[in-house]
Amino acid sequence: MRWWLRAAFLSLLAGTGAEGSGPSGAVVGRVGDSAVLGCDLLGARQSRPPLYVIEWVRVGFVLPIFIKFGLYSPRVDPEYLGRVRIEEGASLRIDLLRAEDQGWYECRVLFLDRPSADADFQNGTWIHLTVNAPPTFLETPPAFVEVRDREALSLTCTAVGNPQPVVIWKRSDLAVQSGDAVQVRNGTLSIAVVERASAGTYTCHASSKEGTITHTTRVLVQGPPVIVVPPQNVTVNISQDAFLACQAEAYPGNLTYTWFQGSSNVFHLSHLQARVRILVDGSLLLQRATPDDAGKYTCVASNGLWKPPSASAFVTVLYPAQVTTMLPETHLPKGMRGVIRCPTRANPPLLSVSWTRDGRPLELGKLPGWSARPDGSIVIATGNDDALGVYTCTPYNSYGTAGASRPTRVLLKDPPAFTVRPKEEYFQEVGRELVVPCAAHGDPPPTITWGKVRSTLGVLGHHRVGSPRVLVLAGSPGVPQEGSFARVTFVFLGNEDKILPLCVQIGPGGVDQGPARVWGLWGRCRGAGDRDRGLGWGWGQGIGMGISA
């Protein structure tokens, strides 16, 4: 049997009931450092070296962790191999301390040359080795964590050490405290509903008297952009550049900006596409502004997530008054009221319009029956040969004028005339179709339009224009209900108006009380065609009828 097996066997026999028999001590070390467990059982040095075996036992290990006999190589437990040696008699030096080295140790010496078996073994002091360790992370979240807006988030940070470290979370150097939105417990930070404001850098701190370690995680919240610098209303003079800011923040940051004037993309508008630029930060640069550029502009920022936000502002362009489109010819109805128009636009608003006829200034005050509208148009009470000529107009505002209009030649034309007139009145039963013819001629050919002048919700709920010359009224099905009797008047729109009172005969005539309290009523209505009067039927109080004129 090898010597150390015999020594170990004797150690087990001698150690039975011996633990804790001597006084105890304590040694404190630090992970990575060295510690010496003292043992003075060998006493003073003798002239002849005694025969003995040195053993170090540890609670929890079946065999001694270290056995040394004479000049033989020591037997060392694999956990301590290369890290332990004897120094200063029987003391044990442990190098490169580990956290798992912490525990109870005892020195034992087996004297082989003692005459008494009872004195073979001497037990030393029980020593407790404490191995302090700085904090070490066992679990940490990733350096970058992506989470969608409105979802939950959990960050877990676990650390060990001796003494046990305390784990806290910080954000912007401030400790994160538990509250309604955030919970911190046992090193885990939980956010029930992530918001855009939840994004940022979170740091886990594990601290003890042996030191502090940290781990940083950056939380990235995925969501639609947020416009942080919206555009502001801007006013520029004509030909100046206009600048509209629009800056957004988002994650992911693959932002794209789209600008609209009204509801149209600025790059789809022919008058804008060559003069607009969208800058890298999303701002819009509009170069050499024109009057057509004025209006509402909307910035839309998108990163492909959910509905993109938008922000709007108005561009105002100041410019001298100008004529838009003057027709080469202006037609006035012969013998009737007519208007010579000067189509203008101006910002600031129009102040005045001057006219010339045949190259000479036109003085309206010297022409009876002639007047000017606020928009600068000339109103002529009766069109005749005095109105003939070539006219130009020049508009003005506080910025001045862009110049005179193109000339327009005023010509006299016969007014439209009816060739087929509607009758003065029509009678038709409810539920039947009514056809009203109408025709007119003129140069240029007139446009015939039907319109209802006054009405309440009535029995004639459907109508159509079969052709420009015919109005067709389709009767409503069923019997008119109480309170739904109608008055209806139609107008032919043109230079010559035709007011057509329309009367509806309901039922065969008289008053009959039917089922479900339905009343059949009839009456007669006449109209003289006076454009200042509207004659029709209206529903009165009780069972009577009121007549409105």
pLDDT tens readout for residues 286-317: 999 999 999 999 999 999 888 899 999 999 99
Across-strand partners of 110? 53, 121
| CA atoms 88, 90, 96, 102: torsion sign | negative
- pLDDT reported for residue 81: 93
Neighbours of 530 (CB within 10 A): 11
Please determine, for residue 5, whether its predicted confidence score (pLDDT) is greater than 60.
Answer: no
Cross-strand pairs, 498: 492
Query: Backbone phi, then psi, for 364, in 5-degree steps?
Result: -65, -30
The amino acid present at 495, given as its one-letter code, is N
| Domain end marker among 320, 347, 362 | 320
Task: Quote the pLDDT of residue 79.
Answer: 93
Residues 309 and 328 both lie in one domain: no
Residue span of the structural domain in which 252 resides: 230-320
| C-alpha distances in Å from residue 128, one per residue of 79, 146, 160, 346, 376 | 18, 48, 21, 98, 109
Query: How confident is the model over 324-335, as a mean pLDDT?
Result: 92
Do residue 234 and residue 305 come from a single domain? yes
Last residue of a domain, one of 101, 133, 165: 133
Q: Is 293 helix (H, G, I), strand (E, B) or coil?
A: helix
- pLDDT tens string 253-277: 889 999 999 999 999 999 999 999 9
Tens digits of per-residue pLDDT, 403-417? Answer: 999 999 999 988 888
Torsions phi, psi for 101 (to 5 deg): -75, -15
Structure confidence at residue 116 as a pLDDT band (50, 70, 90): low
At residue 369, does pLDDT exceed 80? yes
Strand order across the 338-340 sheet: 338-340, 378-380, 370-372
Ranking 46-50, 233-237, 263-267, 535-539 by mean pLDDT, the lowest is 535-539
Q: Classify residue 367 by its DSSP letter.
A: S
Are 454 and 538 in a shared domain?
A: yes
Q: How confident is the model at residue 57 (pLDDT cuts 50, 70, 90)?
A: very high
The reply to whether 176 and 64 lie within a common domain is no
Give the model's pLDDT for residue 430: 81
Same domain, 400 and 362: yes
| Mean pLDDT (whole number) for 438-465 | 63
DSSP per residue, 204-253 = EEEEETTEEEEEEEEEEEEEEEEEEE----EEEETTS-EEE--EEEEES-
| pLDDT exceeds 90 at position 539 | no
Residues 543 and 461 in one domain: yes
pLDDT in tens, 513-523: 444 333 344 44
3-state secondary structure of 435: strand
DSSP label of 11: H
**Residue 282 pLDDT class (50, 70, 90 cuts):** very high
Distance CA 140, CA 156 (A): 6
pTM for the model stands at 0.58
12 sits in which H/E element: helix 3-15
Domain count, the chain: 5
Q: Are 534 and 483 in contact (CB under 8 A)?
A: no
Please check whether residues 129 and 11 belong to one and the same domain. yes
Identify the weakest region by mean pLDDT among 19-33, 326-340, 352-366, 532-546: 532-546
- Distance, CA of 530 to CA of 548 (rounded, Å): 14
- The per-residue pLDDT for range 205-235, each reduced to its tens digit, is 999 998 999 999 999 999 999 999 999 999 9
Same domain membership, residue 126 and residue 86: yes
> Could you tell me if 114 and 11 lie in one domain?
yes
Whether residues 401 and 461 fall in one domain: no
Rg (CA), the chain: 53
Q: Is 283 helix (H, G, I), strand (E, B) or coil?
A: coil
Last residue of a domain, one of 99, 116, 133: 133
Mean pLDDT of 482-497: 36
Assigned token pair, 92: 């044990």
- 169, 202 contact by CB (below 8 A): yes
Q: Which structure tokens are listed for 166? A: 């305390």
Instruction: Indicate the Cα dihedral angle 507, 511, 513, 517, nearest 10°.
Output: 80
Surface-to-core class of residue 392, CB atoms within 10 Å of its CB (0-12 exposed, 13-18 middle, 19+ buried):
buried
Lowest average pLDDT, out of 91-100, 162-171, 313-322, 499-508, goes to 499-508
CB of 472 within 8 A of CB of 464?
A: yes
Instruction: Find where tokens 């580990």 sit.
Output: 98
Q: State which of 421-430, 447-456, 494-503, 523-532 shows the largest mean pLDDT.
A: 421-430
Higher pLDDT, 439 or 295: 295
Could you tell me if 258 and 205 lie in one domain? no
Write down the pLDDT at residue 473: 55
Average pLDDT over residues 19-47: 74
In the structure, what pLDDT confidence band is assigned to residue 472 with cuts at 50, 70 and 90? Answer: low
Q: How distant is the alpha carbon of residue 370 from its chain centre?
A: 59
CATH number of the domain at 427, please. 2.60.40.10
- Whether residues 399 and 468 fall in one domain: no
Residue 240: per-residue pLDDT: 96
